[in-house]
Amino acid sequence: MSEIQVTFLPSNVPIRVPQGETLLRAAMAAGVHINASCGGDGVCGKCRVIVEAGTVESEPSERISKEDWARGYRLACKTQVFSDVQVRIPVESVVDASALRRKAPRRTATVQQIGFEEIKEQGLFLPAVEKLYLELTPPDAQDHLPDVTRLVNHLRMHHNEHGLQVLLDVIRKIPTVFREQNFKVTVTLARPVRSSGKTLIMNVQAGDTTAQNYAVAMDIGTTTVWGQMVDLVSGKALAEHGEFNGQISYGEDVITRIMFAEKPQGLETLNRAVIATANKVIDQIVKESKVAREDISLITLAGNTTMTQLLVSVDPRYIRRSPYVPTATIYPPIRAADLGLNFERHVTALVYPQVSSYVGGDIVAGVMGSGMYRTEKLTLFLDIGTNAEVVVGNKDWMACAACSAGPAFEGGGITFGMRAAKGAIEDFSIDPITLEPMLMTIGNVRPKGICGSGLIIIVATLFETGVIDNQGKFDRSLKTPRIRENSNVWEYVLAYKEQTQIDRDIVINEIDIENLIRAKGAIYAGCMTLLAEVGMQPDNIEQIILAGGFGSYVDLERAMTIGLLPEVAPEKVIYVGNSSLLGARMSALTNSIRQEVVGVTNMMTNFELSETHSYMDNYIAALFLPHTDLNRFPGVNEQVTQHRADVAKMRGRSKEGQ
Amino acid sequence: MSEIQVTFLPSNVPIRVPQGETLLRAAMAAGVHINASCGGDGVCGKCRVIVEAGTVESEPSERISKEDWARGYRLACKTQVFSDVQVRIPVESVVDASALRRKAPRRTATVQQIGFEEIKEQGLFLPAVEKLYLELTPPDAQDHLPDVTRLVNHLRMHHNEHGLQVLLDVIRKIPTVFREQNFKVTVTLARPVRSSGKTLIMNVQAGDTTAQNYAVAMDIGTTTVWGQMVDLVSGKALAEHGEFNGQISYGEDVITRIMFAEKPQGLETLNRAVIATANKVIDQIVKESKVAREDISLITLAGNTTMTQLLVSVDPRYIRRSPYVPTATIYPPIRAADLGLNFERHVTALVYPQVSSYVGGDIVAGVMGSGMYRTEKLTLFLDIGTNAEVVVGNKDWMACAACSAGPAFEGGGITFGMRAAKGAIEDFSIDPITLEPMLMTIGNVRPKGICGSGLIIIVATLFETGVIDNQGKFDRSLKTPRIRENSNVWEYVLAYKEQTQIDRDIVINEIDIENLIRAKGAIYAGCMTLLAEVGMQPDNIEQIILAGGFGSYVDLERAMTIGLLPEVAPEKVIYVGNSSLLGARMSALTNSIRQEVVGVTNMMTNFELSETHSYMDNYIAALFLPHTDLNRFPGVNEQVTQHRADVAKMRGRSKEGQ
């Protein structure tokens, strides 16, 4: 979609946005505050603006009179832009945006795509399963070699394939399939992990089917199971689908799942639940991609240690008992049908190895899929989901740890916290004078709660504008009904109940903020502890790789403002999305990952933070916004100081003007 | 049991027999003819003898009056000997046995047992599965290695085990089993075929169970399925059991089975039938040996190509269609439970490889189990069952073929032919003057028919005494009601219906003899063709290994008399019994067989006799007793000539005496 320019007056702030974007989102991106507390649903009627030039499409609203409509008044949230436009913020709501506006549009991390061409150029495009079309010589009276011997000899002579083993299921198909098209057949070969291993002949089909060769890549998340249909010829993902993990009804996080698994039939129940979810995902991507099941030969799976053990039916109880040992970190190739996965019998399941009880296959997949294991750069890999895991290192060494961050970034422990779904407040701005909010929700509907990325922006903005201090406490001197004490807890009202979907005021209170500070503190302290343990400084970090559900939405500068991420130039931050899924897909595409992954996991030194002396000091120091030691966040410190000075100046002017 | 001596008077022929043997069997072994046509059942009353000295036990018979009983008359068939005895043959039935008697007791082949001590001494006792008892260090706060890593590291450090792979089923057991006896465990390791392969950890048990390590060895015969419980610690077979193959109801031989398999659901039906039989055998030997199923880790199986394909559910239809190609000759290790075999999930099934459509895993197992593949001696291996297979060679080369011998030796195509079971005539002698028979049946009951070894003895004896000529035709000049023409076919009455179990005269006729000659001709011609193709002479044969159902009973000199076996010294003939079962057991005991078997099958050059030019000439030359070319059987020729001269002399004397 082509971009157009929106210029906000009177402050004359330009912003480039895609055609069809709403004016409210454009304003938010430009750092121009417009009061709006219904999330973009057109209900509160506060986001009135005047379109002075350009083409827009706008829904009529009873909040705008006929006269005002004629004068160009529109609701910013219900107005889409289709050409370069000029928009004036009405005097009644305008503040000196030029003074406050962010230097750049919201900075999110660069999204890393799979560099399929690069993989090919590096000679790494060697799928774990490969198809070969063969024209065998049919047997006759002079040549009565057995079918299988005929096949193996042909592969040996014409394709230099040695150390072949033919699966029984293939042997069963051979007599018929060989004779369907007069000994013209396509075989599917599964490559061994080590070159000394056997190459398995895992399928045989009549005729030439080499153009149809597929794998499923799957991330078994605690919350969501994602699957991709991967075309092993083009490298493309043909379909992608996610479903909530059916285990959710038995517990939100891994610990409650393990506790459930310890009950009678608990393990079987959880195993069946996740397999059922995986099958739903598989069915959907098979349907979407129109791939024939017999052309799928592989499924690669990644999940954390508990999810992996539940997937393969291995009792996880010792994961949560000191000394926290997982049963296994490496799994052999498994027949997918034996796991209950809805595939033909020849399909092999490859499960990503784990490092420890709390650094699982999802993290390993991230390290592999993101290319961290091949980079020279000192990298901080951070996967924030239901829990948070940190890896520090590069191709030569790695240290990793799981942080007991808790689920704050997925909405856990936050009064109005929720997952990133329709109605979640995902962006926020505040009028520094009136302290009125500007809210954006996912789906532009009335708010229901606050998602992780929204939470970061809200807390960072409240801190920048001095509404809360560096311990997360509200400035009790500020005069606005939105800041109030409720059952001894101070809170800020984001949206009054009339503008919500839930018929309750949506607020953020000091307990929420404290929980967020603890969560970000745990993650930051984890990073710092790992760095310190390997004798490194935050300055040494050359790149940050963000993974996990909210990674692509998080406002990097705001994440640094609250001290979640160490302060680095935003361009050093890469977002890899669902790194677990990425890693699963990469290992379907390039067998070298399978060859190297065990070496990588052996190299990944695991630190149990609770048993690492420096961790507690790091953690306590991080329980401030952004941190006790402001020297670690010089940029944040400078910006917040400047911002607060501006706000103070404005508030002074505002008072003078009264 | 200790042996005692029986001396037959008046000819003064001594014979050593086990205590408890009947006088009739002792006489047969000594070559002393006593008329007896009820097989040893005490019915015909013809076998009256006088016990002159020694201890016997005898059943009273209404055929012997009180007075005769007091004079020492007894029925030979109902009298057991318990000390050295002297027995007189009454004048009325005696012929000059001294002239006719065989030089030695009946010569059967030396039975080869597994030389377990020899295997051990040669360092070949390396079972395919091995148990190791390990005392692992339990994890603690300083050492939280995953369970599987702990195990693998221990094996690596303390047992020099590398290239280990742990099966998923084992991973599933580990968390519980490790903690049952505080990390003291026994693991079962499956050795790879090649040293470069992986060693599988296939089971784990709490505590020390190394003394309990078992395998099942199984022969999947067309007619019978045999199984043995093999103790992998002592090398002993703890139990053995056979059941008729449940497929028999769908066809007697491999061709009719294949035809049935081609019908809808035919393959599944036959597969289920043989699996059900195998499970019956397994259940029985588990019960007899009192072995716990969880201590069984392996089943080794051997069968002909069709039986093997039906066992593993591979369509056998192309085995009987030109150019007669089997689907596979080598099978990967298979999880026994996947075949439907009633074992725990960790049990691995190893299936013997095949050479061709008609030289199957049973023959390969015989070659391996008999040690033929390791001998320097030029060996003729002969397995005579429902069909007959021949292998010629030694450790450096082998040629093999299947002979279309048909089932004559199992009773097929013989009017009163039957398998070796109770009531089958198994031994025979004839009074050269009166032409009255002496019959022995299996179980000493009234006769029902003739088994394979009996048939050989009957035809050889009729030939030696000139009752039939070298084309198998009766001497029409002999005067006895036992030789008669019936519906244009000449026959000899072995037992009149009153003395049989079947209320019909049991005879052998010229068509039966012709069928036997064809069968033995096909086998002999197969041996000669193979020898000729590799440029060898019958003289070069240094040893004959006989395998198959009737091998241990066959009278070697008589088998040479009819020209079934080439003429060699009887001590060069070894009988290995069920070689298929032997081979299966050997490969459970010594992994080196698995390592070498593929090389051996590659070395075994298969000849399709129907496509080998010299075969037909060899076959036609062999359609005589013993052969067209008597120079090939000089000993037989000399003996038969002498014997006939003796008979003629006696007949002359007998006429003079009239």
Contacts of A345 (CB under 8 A, 6+ apart): A169, A335, A337
Spatial contact of B465 and B483, defined as CB atoms under 8 Å apart: no
Q: Indicate left, alpha or beta for B30 from its phi (over 0: left) and psi (-120 to 50: alpha).
A: alpha
Q: Chain A: residue nearest B147 by CA?
A: A327
| Burial group, residue B630, by CB count within 10 angstroms (0-12, 13-18, 19+) | middle
CA A517 to CA A511: how far, in whole Å?
10
pLDDT at B352 over 70: yes
Cα-Cα-Cα-Cα dihedral sign, residues A202, B309, B288, B246 = positive
Residue type, B29: A
| Secondary structure (DSSP) of A184-240 | EEEEEEEPPSSTTSPEEEEEEEES--TT--EEEEEEE-SSEEEEEEEETTT--EEEE
Residue type, B118: E
Q: Chain B: residue nearest A324 by CA?
A: B144
> Could you tell me the CA-to-CA distances from A524 to A203, A428, A530, A562, B151 in Å, in that order?
49, 24, 10, 10, 36
Residue B231 inside a domain? The answer is no
Residue A400 inside a domain? The answer is no
Strand partners, B55: none
Rounded to the nearest angstrom, the minimum Cα separation between B165 and chain A is: 7
Dihedral of the alpha carbons of B279, B274, B362, B310, in degrees to the nearest 10: -130
Alpha helices in A402-485 (DSSP H): 452-464
Across the interface, do B328 and A196 touch by the CB < 8 Å criterion?
no
The order of strands in the sheet holding A388-393 is A110-111, A573-575, A543-547, A379-384, A388-393, A398-403, A604-607
pLDDT at A478 over 60: yes
Q: Look at chain B and report how many structural domains it folds into.
A: 3
| Burial group, residue B67, by CB count within 10 angstroms (0-12, 13-18, 19+) | exposed
Which of A601, A578, A583 shows the shortest CA–CA distance to A217? A583
Question: Per-residue pLDDT averaged across B347-353, rounded?
Answer: 96
Rounded to the nearest angstrom, the minimum Cα separation between B143 and chain A is: 8
Distance of CA B120 to the CA centre of its chain: 26
Across the interface, do B329 and A146 touch by the CB < 8 Å criterion?
yes
Do B440 and B505 lie in one domain? The reply is: yes
Do A356 and A219 lie in one domain? The reply is: yes
Two tokens, residue A566: 């160490």
How much is the pLDDT for A652? 80
Provide φ and ψ at B224, rounded to 5°: -130, 145
- Domain span at residue B16 reads 3-105
Give per-residue pLDDT as tens, B216-263: 999 999 989 999 999 999 999 999 999 999 999 999 889 999 999 999
How much is the pLDDT for A144? 87
Q: Percentage of chain A surpassing pLDDT 70?
A: 95
Which of B287, B388, B315, B301 shows the shortest CA–CA distance to B353? B301
Do A223 and A357 lie in one domain? The reply is: yes
pLDDT at B85 over 90: yes
Do B22 and B101 lie in one domain? The reply is: yes
Residue A368 inside a domain? The answer is no
Two tokens, residue B102: 């065989």
Residue type, A17: V
Residue that is last in its domain, among B157, B179, B206:
B206
The larger pLDDT score, comparing residue A341 to residue B556, is at A341
Under the banding of pLDDT at 50, 70 and 90, the label for residue A559 is very high
Q: Chain A: residue nearest B319 by CA?
A: A146
Residue B64 inside a domain? The answer is yes
Question: Per-residue pLDDT averaged across A386-400, rounded?
Answer: 93
Contacts of A372 (CB under 8 A, 6+ apart): A366, A379, A381, A391, A393, A394, A398, A545
Asked if residue A90 has a cis previous peptide bond (ω within 30° of 0), the answer is: no
Provide φ and ψ at A188, rounded to 5°: -105, 125
Nearest CB partner across the interface for A141, out of B314, B354, B611:
B611
Do A423 and A350 lie in one domain? The reply is: no
CA A397 to CA A273: how far, in whole Å?
37
**CB contacts, 8 Å: A150 with chain B:** 325
- Which H/E stretch holds residue B58? strand B56-58
pLDDT at A104 over 60: no
Per-residue DSSP letter, A243: E
Point out the least confidently predicted range of A465-469, B419-423, B629-633.
B419-423
Across the interface, do A145 and B608 touch by the CB < 8 Å criterion?
no
Do B643 and B509 lie in one domain? The reply is: yes
Do B433 and B498 lie in one domain? The reply is: yes
The larger pLDDT score, comparing residue B556 to residue B122, is at B556
Residue that is last in its domain, among A303, A334, A361:
A361
In A304-455, beta strands by DSSP E: 334-335, 348-351, 379-384, 388-393, 398-403, 424-430, 437-441, 449-450
CA B309 to CA B329: how far, in whole Å?
10
Across the interface, do B144 and A354 touch by the CB < 8 Å criterion?
no
Across the interface, do A147 and B318 touch by the CB < 8 Å criterion?
yes
Q: Which residues of A458-496 are buried (b: 16+ CB within 10 A; e: fewer)?
A: bbbbbbbbbbbebebebeeeeeeebbeeeeeebbbbbbb
Q: What number of residues does chain B have?
A: 658
The CATH number given to whatever domain includes residue B181 is 3.10.20.880
Across the interface, do A166 and B312 touch by the CB < 8 Å criterion?
no
pLDDT at B92 over 80: no
Rounded to the nearest angstrom, the minimum Cα separation between B326 and chain A is: 5
Two tokens, residue A180: 């369907």
CA B452 to CA B71: how far, in whole Å?
39
Question: Per-residue pLDDT averaged across A106-114, rounded?
Answer: 66
Two tokens, residue A568: 């680095």
What is the reported pTM? 0.85
Give per-residue pLDDT as tens, B40-56: 888 888 899 999 999 99
- Which H/E stretch holds residue A169? helix A168-180
Under the banding of pLDDT at 50, 70 and 90, the label for residue A99 is very low
Do B17 and B78 lie in one domain? The reply is: yes
Give per-residue pLDDT as tens, A339-368: 999 999 999 999 999 999 999 999 999 999
Residue B303 inside a domain? The answer is no
How much is the pLDDT for A551? 63
Alpha helices in B243-318 (DSSP H): 254-261, 266-289, 305-311
pLDDT mean across residues, chain A: 91
Point out the least confidently predicted range of A323-327, B563-567, B593-597.
B593-597
**What is the Rg, in whole angstroms, of the alpha carbon atoms belonging to chain A?**
28
Angle at A134 between CA A132 and CA A137, to 5 degrees: 160
Under the banding of pLDDT at 50, 70 and 90, the label for residue B294 is very high
Asked if residue A10 has a cis previous peptide bond (ω within 30° of 0), the answer is: yes
The CATH number given to whatever domain includes residue B26 is 3.10.20.30
CA B449 to CA B424: how far, in whole Å?
5
Q: Is A350 on the interface with B (CB under 8 A)?
A: no
Q: Indicate left, alpha or beta for A346 from its phi (over 0: left) and psi (-120 to 50: alpha).
A: alpha
Across the interface, do A327 and B356 touch by the CB < 8 Å criterion?
no
Residue A533 inside a domain? The answer is no
Count CB neighbours of A418 within 10 A: 22
Mutate to test the interface with B, among A179, A200, A315, A318 (most CBs of B within 10 A): A318
Residue A14 inside a domain? The answer is yes
The 3-state DSSP class for residue B93 equals: helix
| Pairs across A and B, CB distance < 8 A | 126
Spatial contact of A458 and A450, defined as CB atoms under 8 Å apart: yes
Do A71 and A164 lie in one domain? The reply is: no
Interface of A with B in 44-103 (CB under 8 A): none
**CB contacts, 8 Å: A139 with chain B:** 323, 325
Under the banding of pLDDT at 50, 70 and 90, the label for residue B168 is very high
Interface of A with B in 603-622 (CB under 8 A): 608, 611
- Look-up: residue for tokens 């051990």? B120
Across the interface, do A332 and B165 touch by the CB < 8 Å criterion?
yes
Two tokens, residue B485: 């023409």
How much is the pLDDT for B103? 41
Rounded to the nearest angstrom, the minimum Cα separation between A474 and chain B is: 43
Nearest CB partner across the interface for B171, out of A140, A167, A328:
A328
CA B385 to CA B411: how far, in whole Å?
10
Under the banding of pLDDT at 50, 70 and 90, the label for residue A61 is confident
Give per-residue pLDDT as tens, B354-409: 999 999 999 999 999 999 999 999 999 999 877 899 999 999 999 999 998 888 88
Angle at A110 between CA A108 and CA A112, to 5 degrees: 140
CA B398 to CA B389: how far, in whole Å?
13
Q: Is B143 on the interface with A (CB under 8 A)?
A: yes
> Could you tell me the CA-to-CA distances from A341 to A226, A279, A336, B167 in Å, in that order?
14, 6, 6, 18
Across the interface, do B139 and A165 touch by the CB < 8 Å criterion?
no
Do A224 and A282 lie in one domain? The reply is: yes
**CB contacts, 8 Å: B168 with chain A:** 312, 331-332, 334, 338
Across the interface, do B166 and A318 touch by the CB < 8 Å criterion?
no
Dihedral of the alpha carbons of A155, A156, A157, A158, in degrees to the nearest 10: 40
Question: Per-residue pLDDT averaged across B201-220, rounded?
Answer: 97
Rounded to the nearest angstrom, the minimum Cα separation between A330 and chain B is: 8
Q: How large is the ipTM? A: 0.86
**CB contacts, 8 Å: B314 with chain A:** 171-172, 174-175
Residue that is last in its domain, among A187, A206, A225:
A206
pLDDT at A37 over 90: no
Report helix angle A452-464 to A634-657, nearest 10: 60
Contacts of A361 (CB under 8 A, 6+ apart): A301, A302, A303, A304, A305, A308, A351, A352, A353, A354, A580
Across the interface, do A330 and B175 touch by the CB < 8 Å criterion?
no
Give per-residue pLDDT as tens, B473-526: 999 999 999 999 999 999 999 999 999 999 999 999 999 999 999 999 999 999
Two tokens, residue B58: 């005898």
Q: Chain B: residue nearest A200 by CA?
A: B332
Strand partners, B132: B187
The 3-state DSSP class for residue A414 equals: coil
Two tokens, residue A467: 């509404």
pLDDT mean across residues, chain B: 91
Residue A38 inside a domain? The answer is yes
The CATH number given to whatever domain includes residue A219 is 3.30.420.480
pLDDT at A552 over 80: no
Which of B177, B12, B24 shows the shortest CA–CA distance to B101? B12
Do A70 and A35 lie in one domain? The reply is: yes
Q: Chain B: residue nearest A335 by CA?
A: B168
How much is the pLDDT for B409? 86
- Which H/E stretch holds residue A642? helix A634-657
Across the interface, do A168 and B326 touch by the CB < 8 Å criterion?
no
Asked if residue B326 has a cis previous peptide bond (ω within 30° of 0), the answer is: no
Give per-residue pLDDT as tens, B630-652: 999 999 999 999 989 988 888 88
Q: Chain B: residue nearest A166 by CA?
A: B332
pLDDT at A100 over 60: no
| Burial group, residue A374, by CB count within 10 angstroms (0-12, 13-18, 19+) | middle
> Could you tell me the CA-to-CA distances from A227 to A302, A419, A553, B605 in Å, in that order?
11, 20, 21, 52
pLDDT at B552 over 90: no
Under the banding of pLDDT at 50, 70 and 90, the label for residue B91 is low
Interface of A with B in 189-208 (CB under 8 A): 196-198
Do A220 and A349 lie in one domain? The reply is: yes
Which of A490, A509, A485, A497 shows the shortest CA–CA distance to A416? A509
Interface of A with B in 303-322 (CB under 8 A): 312-315, 317-318, 322
Across the interface, do A144 and B356 touch by the CB < 8 Å criterion?
yes
Give per-residue pLDDT as tens, A238-289: 999 999 999 999 998 899 999 999 999 999 999 999 999 999 999 999 999 9
Across the interface, do B145 and A331 touch by the CB < 8 Å criterion?
no
**CB contacts, 8 Å: A168 with chain B:** 312, 331-332, 334, 338
The larger pLDDT score, comparing residue B552 to residue B533, is at B533
Interface of A with B in 445-474 (CB under 8 A): none
The 3-state DSSP class for residue A494 equals: strand
